[in-house]
């Protein structure tokens, strides 16, 4: 609530200061019903037109470029499988941060929790080299969830008991995780046969997730879709889901009605971190097949966008994660027709920026300033 009032106050100030200088004013209405499919479409089109200008300046046909982007990401079974492969970690991390955002816990540490999950899964392969083969995958998945969950707890405990802002701790822990990863792959876990390349030895076949039909797509996608279904159900149909909704709507009222706020925060942060950790363990066992430097190209951060584009709805995250995954895969594909990489990054950035800005701006209305209110 306090957030909302502060925004309203800010809008009032804008109104008064604009009077007389600019004959129109913006009116903010957070409750305004917007047409939920017009906004993203208009935003995407605006982004495409903006980028088209730069593409033309670069001497290429924008339609060719956009067509190649779509074709690269969705135009063949290879493209689709690679897009889904990119979407898997994004979906799991988005699910994780989304659950935390529902109760206004601003976890931006999915990147670190993802890395810890990858480290956890790899630890199984390093410290238990002689297990019976079929045990590896379940153990690696569980280790990933536990490592990620504990990393989430490092943020949750100071938050609940010492009121430390979780935005700062979760962000800072990302860097700690990154340095821990670098330490492990540069020193103790480095492949002794790898000519000092910063990565562990390749996993054995038992430590890799099975792939689907000759592509790199693996069981991780199925795990992710199951996770989405489970959480959609839990949030909609259980007492826990109800309490979370109450907590998200009004924490003070929830506390008065007997809901244990601290317990919920601890649990939610563990789940949030655990899901990102699960994504990390799937990335090493399913795709990279080793722990190496730069294991995450920013999945934990991109997932925040995926979650917000889906308005925190787990089911909608399936589509937004595929959309963003396609944007990344297609972004590389357009390079094959001669577009520099900076241009494809700009394209991705412009689409995201316009989508988010469109969402925000749709809550405003332009009105002629009459001087009365």
Partner 1 sequence: MKKVLGIFMILLLFMLAACSQGTTKTSESAKTEEKSEETTGEATETEEKELPKVAFVYIGVPGDGGWTYEHDQARKLVDETFGITSTTVENVPEGPDAERVIEELAQDHDIIFTTSFGYMDPTFNVAQKYPEVLFMHATGYKTAENMGTYQGRGYQPAYLAGIAAGMLSLNNKIGYVGAFPLPEVIYTINAFTLGAQSVNPDAEVSVVWSNTWFDPTTERQAAVSLLDQGVDVLANYQDSPAGIQAAAERGVWGMGNDSDMNEYAPETYVTNPILNWGPYYVDVVQSVIDETWKSEAVFYGFKEGMVELAPFGKNVPQEVQDAVEAKKKEIVDGTFDIFKGPIYDQAGNIKINDGETLADPDILSMNWFVKGVKGTIPAE
- Residues in the site for partner 1, rule: CB under 8 A? 36-37, 40-41, 44, 61, 63-68, 70-72, 74-75, 78-79, 82, 85, 182, 186-187, 190, 192, 195-198, 202, 216, 283, 287-288, 292-295, 297, 316, 319, 329, 332-333, 335-338, 340-342
Helix (H) or strand (E) holding 26: strand 24-28
Smallest gap from Cβ 197 to partner 1, in A, equals: 6
How many angstroms separate the Cα of 8 from the Cα of each of 4, 15, 41, 313, 364? Answer: 6, 11, 28, 26, 12
Complex with partner 1: residue 187 or 372, whichever CB lies closer? 187
CA distances from 368 to 12, 18, 19, 20, 27 (A): 15, 11, 10, 11, 10
Contacts of 142 (CB under 8 A, 6+ apart): none
Nearer residue to partner 1 within complex by CB, 196 or 370: 196
Nearer to partner 1, 107 or 333 (CB): 333
| Closer residue to partner 1, CB minimum distance, 105 or 310 | 310
Backbone dihedral region for residue 259 (phi beyond 0: left; psi -120 to 50: alpha; all else: beta): beta
We find the least distance from the C-beta atom of residue 26 to partner 1, in angstroms, to be 26
* Residue among 152 and 198 whose Cβ is closer to partner 1: 198
User: What residues have CB less than 8 Å from 105, skipping those under 6 apart?
Assistant: 156, 159, 166, 265, 268, 269, 272
CB of 104 to partner 1, least distance (A): 25
Closest C-alpha to 99, from 299, 275, 351: 275
The CB-of-172 to partner 1 minimum distance in angstroms stands at 19
DSSP 128-167: -TTS-GGGHHHHHHHHHHHHHHHHHHHHHHHHHHH---HH
Least Å distance between CB 307 and partner 1?
16
What backbone phi and psi angles, to 5 degrees, belong to 50? -55, -45
Whichever of 269 and 343 has its CB closer to partner 1, that residue is: 343
* Cβ-based nearer residue to partner 1, 159 or 190: 190
Give me the least distance between CB of 288 and partner 1, in Å please: 5
Query: At a CB cut-off of 8 Å and minimum separation 6, what does 72 contact?
Result: 79, 329, 330, 332, 333, 334, 336
Cα–Cα dist 365/147, whole Å: 47
Task: Write down the least CB distance from residue 115 to partner 1, Å.
Answer: 14
**Closest approach of partner 1 to the CB of residue 171, in Å:** 19
Whole-number Å distance between alpha carbons of 249 and 102: 9
Nearer to partner 1, 37 or 127 (CB): 37
Contacts of 293 (CB under 8 A, 6+ apart): 181, 182, 185, 186, 198, 199
Compute the least distance from the CB of residue 371 to partner 1, in Å: 38
Report CA 352 to chain centroid distance, whole Å.
13
b (16+ CB within 10 A) / e for 332-357: ebbeeeebeeebbebbbebbbebbee
Residue closer to partner 1 (CB basis): 11 or 71: 71
């Amino acid at each position: 609530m306090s957030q909302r009032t502060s925004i309203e106050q800010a809008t009032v100030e804008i109104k008064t200061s604009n009077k007389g200088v600019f004959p129109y004013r913006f009116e903010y209405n957070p409750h305004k019903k917007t047409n939920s499919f017009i906004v993203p479409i208009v935003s995407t089109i605006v982004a495409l037109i903006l980028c088209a200008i730069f593409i033309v300046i670069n001497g290429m046909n924008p339609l060719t470029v956009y067509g190649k982007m779509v074709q690269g990401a969705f135009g063949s079974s290879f493209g689709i499988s690679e897009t889904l492969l990119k979407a898997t970690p994004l979906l799991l991390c988005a699910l994780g941060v989304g659950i935390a955002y529902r109760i206004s816990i601003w976890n931006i540490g999915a990147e670190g929790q993802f890395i810890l999950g990858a480290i956890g899964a790899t630890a199984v392969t390093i410290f238990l080299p002689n297990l019976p083969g079929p045990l590896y995958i379940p153990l690696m998945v569980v280790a990933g969830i536990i490592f990620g969950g504990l990393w989430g707890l490092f943020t949750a405990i100071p938050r609940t008991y010492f009121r430390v802002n979780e935005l700062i701790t979760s962000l800072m822990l990302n860097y700690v995780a990154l340095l821990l990863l670098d330490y492990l792959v540069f020193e103790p876990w480095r492949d002794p046969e790898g000519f000092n390349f910063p990565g562990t030895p390749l996993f054995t076949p038992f430590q890799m997730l099975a792939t689907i039909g000759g592509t790199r797509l693996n069981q991780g996608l199925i795990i992710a879709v199951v996770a989405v279904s489970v959480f959609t159900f839990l949030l909609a149909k259980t007492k826990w889901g109800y309490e979370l909704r109450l907590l998200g709507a009004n924490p003070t009222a929830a506390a008065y009605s007997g809901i244990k706020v601290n317990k919920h925060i601890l649990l939610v942060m563990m789940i949030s971190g655990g899901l990102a950790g699960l994504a990390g363990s799937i990335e090493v066992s399913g795709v990279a097949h080793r722990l190496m430097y730069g294991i995450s190209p920013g999945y934990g951060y991109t997932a925040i966008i995926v979650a917000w584009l889906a308005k925190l709805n787990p089911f909608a995250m399936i589509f937004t994660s595929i959309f963003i995954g396609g944007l990344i895969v297609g972004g590389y594909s357009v390079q094959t027709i001669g577009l520099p990489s900076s241009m494809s990054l700009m394209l991705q950035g412009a689409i995201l920026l316009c989508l988010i800005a469109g969402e925000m701006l749709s809550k405003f209305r332009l009105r002629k300033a009459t001087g009365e209110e």
